[in-house]
Amino acid sequence: MKKLNILITGGAGYLGSMITTKLVEDGHNVTVIDILEFNKTSLAHLFIKHNFKFIEGDVRDKNLISRELINKNIIIPLAALVGAPLCEKYPKQTIDINFNCIKFILSKIKPSQKIIYPNTNSGYGIGEKNKYCDEKSPLNPISLYGRTKVESEKIILKHKNSVVFRLATVFGFSYRMRTDLLVNFLVNIAVRYKKISLFEPHFRRNYIHVDDVANAFVFAISNFSLMKGNIYNVGLSNANLTKIQLAKLIKKIVKGTKISILKNRKDPDKRDYFVSNKKIEKLGFKPKTSINEGIKELKNIFNIHNFKKNKNNY
């Protein structure tokens, strides 16, 4: 594979630390810009690598971004405020980072420079009960987070040298761990307290392991000419599950877990859909880590490490 110069904003985050690691290990020259708000050491294992460069900086620093865009073959803009609750808490910063910074990057890059952008399939909002959402399904983002990501997707696709992923709900261990994501959160609670409390248990989601998200980016780089100008759902096709189905899978692996349903609470994140991943599967990409394997991984990790507690956003 040709060695490329790659810029990743937000490359020290949950997705970014995994994607960055794979691309550095593949021999690419990778530059990461990250403000390091949540974890100072998620990329520490890469500082010995000669093909890795880290810049502690803010994606809103236009001079910094303009300078670092020069001579980059690929830009992966990951820097964002992520998740409905966080974005509702900081609406101005959300719009600035999730949309305006993307708009600025697009204004500065050349037509030959490539972009791989991670959207969320939460943009589908509430899907039809007996129909899977595919890339042609209408977008109906419910949260500010979903709306800013969808608007960024629209302007990115105007740059012909682009690939957009609509990612399923991500789970699994990362160098910058998050315990607020649905699978991670429920497994953590099951391990700690041997109980899972759910509200609106019929809500549906699609899931994917964080390592497979990183693999999808590697796949896109290798197959860019085939994929450019297109949107791809990226998830485990056999992991379209309701919340209660997910909880029952966790119960089988974390023995002794009890499940209770809270009928007087509403889910602030109203997304409810199943997703088709056939488009990218037809090109040859399929995730490797099953939902059961991910639950077992998380169980083992939470048994030995008590991560900082995150608020239950579900």
Q: Are residues 20 and 95 in the same domain?
A: yes
Which residues does the chain have with pLDDT short of 50? 310-314
Residues 82-92 pLDDT 10s: 988 889 999 99
Q: Are residues 29 and 143 in the same domain?
A: yes
Q: Are residues 71 and 107 in the same domain?
A: yes
Give me the pLDDT at residue 310, please.
Answer: 46
Residues 17-33 pLDDT 10s: 999 999 999 999 999 99
Q: Are residues 35 and 160 in the same domain?
A: yes
Q: Are residues 58 and 93 in the same domain?
A: yes
User: Strands of 204-209's sheet, edge to edge?
Assistant: 169-171, 204-209, 240-242
Tokens of 119: 């959207």
Number of domains in the chain: 2
Give me the pLDDT at residue 79, please.
Answer: 96
What is the span of the domain harbouring residue 105?
A: 5-170+207-234
Residue 261 lies in a domain: yes
Give me the pLDDT at residue 161, please.
Answer: 97
Give me the pLDDT at residue 306, please.
Answer: 83
Q: Are residues 60 and 128 in the same domain?
A: yes
Find the farthest-apart pair of alpha carbons in the chain and give their distance in angstroms, rounded. 57
Give me the pLDDT at residue 307, please.
Answer: 79
Among candidates 132, 122, 138, which has minimal Cα distance to 87?
122
234: enclosing H helix or E strand: strand 230-234
Give me the pLDDT at residue 1, please.
Answer: 67
Q: Are residues 112 and 165 in the same domain?
A: yes
**Cα–Cα dist 281/267, whole Å:** 31
pTM of the model: 0.94
Q: Are residues 68 and 103 in the same domain?
A: yes
Residues 124-170 pLDDT 10s: 988 787 789 999 999 988 889 989 999 999 999 999 999 999 999 99
Q: Are residues 227 and 255 in the same domain?
A: no
Degrees to nearest 5, angle at CA 17 with 238 and 250 = 35
Q: Are residues 63 and 22 in the same domain?
A: yes
CATH of the domain at 246: 3.90.25.10
Give me the pLDDT at residue 123, please.
Answer: 86
